Amino acid sequence: MLFDWLSFDLLLAIALIALAVAALRARDLFKGIVIFMLFGLLVAIAWVRVHAPDLALAEAAIGSGITGALFLGALSRIERKKKSTAPARLENPVGGSTSGAWTVLLTIVLTVQLALAVLRGWGYSDGLADEALSRIDESGVINPVTAVILNFRAYDTLLEIGVLLLAALGVYAIGEGPTVRNLQRTSRSEVLETFVHLLTPMIVLTAGYLVWVGYKEPGGAFQAGALLGGAGVVLLLSGRELPVHAARPGVRIVLGGGFLVFLLAGLAVMQDRAFLEYPRASAKYIILIIELACTVSIGAILTVLFAGCANLLTTPSEEEGT
């Protein structure tokens, strides 16, 4: 072997820590966010190195994409607001931080303790691997991660979809700032238009593919939903009017659909089984239906969340009014 993978891992680990320091200490928050996105990209590589390709897929879309877009959206909204309220109090140059000695001490003690605990206990038990892997046949799928998410611990996942829905509701409830102008709709450029025309169908196709292969290979509702969310963000940024406002017809159904289908599937099997305990023969199809519904919902929820952060929730008619 030409490459010594161990040294590659060391280099990647050092790069991760260096990027974390650079992002956290950047004087300009904009730079910090950009470095954070770069960090997300490298974390995606780290997931592959610890045998977690499912996570790499999700992280590449979320860690290096959507989270960064959220931060940049919020930042540009705040900067515009600052400019519009003209001289305003120029806030204390908030690179300023209060690092008391106790903060340093607390952090160091906690980190060292954790590291020691890991070094002591490393390699003793194999956790739940045997239990999960030995009963994989009963789950209806082959990819163990999908089996855990949608079958063995489906109850957790149902509630997590619920959390996503709650976050979207929260963003709706927080609503729009009173005086802020909307994100400047980029003047339509041919290049961007063509790109979006080309990209969006590709992303939808890839998302569908990810759901489909999720039963045997890395993929599934969360990765595909993250991709769709990314497509939504790109569409919003390119100046498209997406129906993101809760008053638009169908939006609530799309947002809540994943949770609803999941819940109904759980209830439907309850005739002679426990909640969410799928019959073995049809488990594969039940899981596929739930995943399809959740993919669409997760994508829509992520899009709405971005719209909320970047102040794009207003419907066009409201926009004209202000």
Partner 1 sequence: MSIISALSYLLIACGLFFFTAGTVGLLRFPDVFSRLHALTKADNLGLGLVVFGAILRQSELTVILKLILIWLLVLIASATTCYLVAESARRNPDVKESRNDAV
Partner 2 sequence: MSTSLIYALTGIVIAGLGLFHYLSQRNILRKILAGNFIGTGIFLFLVSSAARQVDGPIDPVPHALVLTGIVVAVSATALLLALVCRYHDETGSLTFDEENDE
User: What residues make contact with partner 1 under the rule CB under 8 A?
Assistant: 2, 27-31, 75, 78-79, 93-95, 189, 191-192, 195, 198-199, 202
* Full 3-state SS string of 213-264: HCCCCCCCHHHHHHHHHHHHHHHHHCCCCCCCCCCCCCHHHHHHHHHHHHHH
Residues 66-95 binding partner 2 (CB under 8 A) are 66-67, 70-71, 73-75, 77-78, 81, 85, 88-89, 91-92, 94
Report the greatest alpha carbon distance in the chain.
68
Alpha carbon distance 321, 182 (integer Å): 12
| Cβ count near 243 (within 10 Å) | 15
202 binds, among partner 1, partner 2, none (CB under 5 to 8 A by kind): partner 1
Which position among 140, 311, 312, 314 is part of the footprint of partner 2 (CB under 8 A)?
Answer: 311
Chain-centre distance for alpha carbon 245: 20
The structure tokens listed for 138 are 């009963």
Classify residue 90 by burial, with Cβ atoms within 10 Å: 0-12, 13-18, 19+: exposed
Closest distance of CB 34 from partner 2, Å: 11
Q: Which stretch binds partner 2 (CB under 8 A): 33-41, 205-213, 263-271, 281-289?
A: 33-41
219 binds partner 2 (CB under 8 A): no
Segment contacting partner 2 by CB under 8 A, of 5-13, 188-196, 237-245, 251-259? 5-13
Count CA atoms within 13 Å of residue 288 on its CB side.
13
179 binds partner 2 (CB under 8 A): yes
Q: Which of 123, 118, 125, 143 lies closest to 133 in space, CA to CA?
A: 143
From the list 112-120, 187-195, 256-264, 279-287, the region that binds partner 2 by CB under 8 A is: 112-120
Whole-angstrom Cα distance, residue 208 to residue 227?
10
Q: Does position 235 bind partner 2 by CB under 8 A?
A: no
* Beta carbon of residue 65, minimum distance to partner 1 (angstroms, whole number): 12
Q: Are 66 and 229 in contact (CB under 8 A)?
A: yes
**Residue 75 or 166: which CB sits closer to partner 1?**
75
Q: How far is the CB of 250 from partner 1 (least distance, A)?
A: 30
Q: How far is the CB of 284 from partner 2 (least distance, A)?
A: 17
Q: How far is the CB of 265 from partner 2 (least distance, A)?
A: 17
Q: With respect to partner 2, which residue has the nearer C-beta, 142 or 289?
A: 142
**178 lines the binding site for partner 2 (CB under 8 A):** yes
Instruction: Tell me the C-alpha distance between 199 and 206, whole Å.
Output: 10
Token couple for 244 = 């993101």
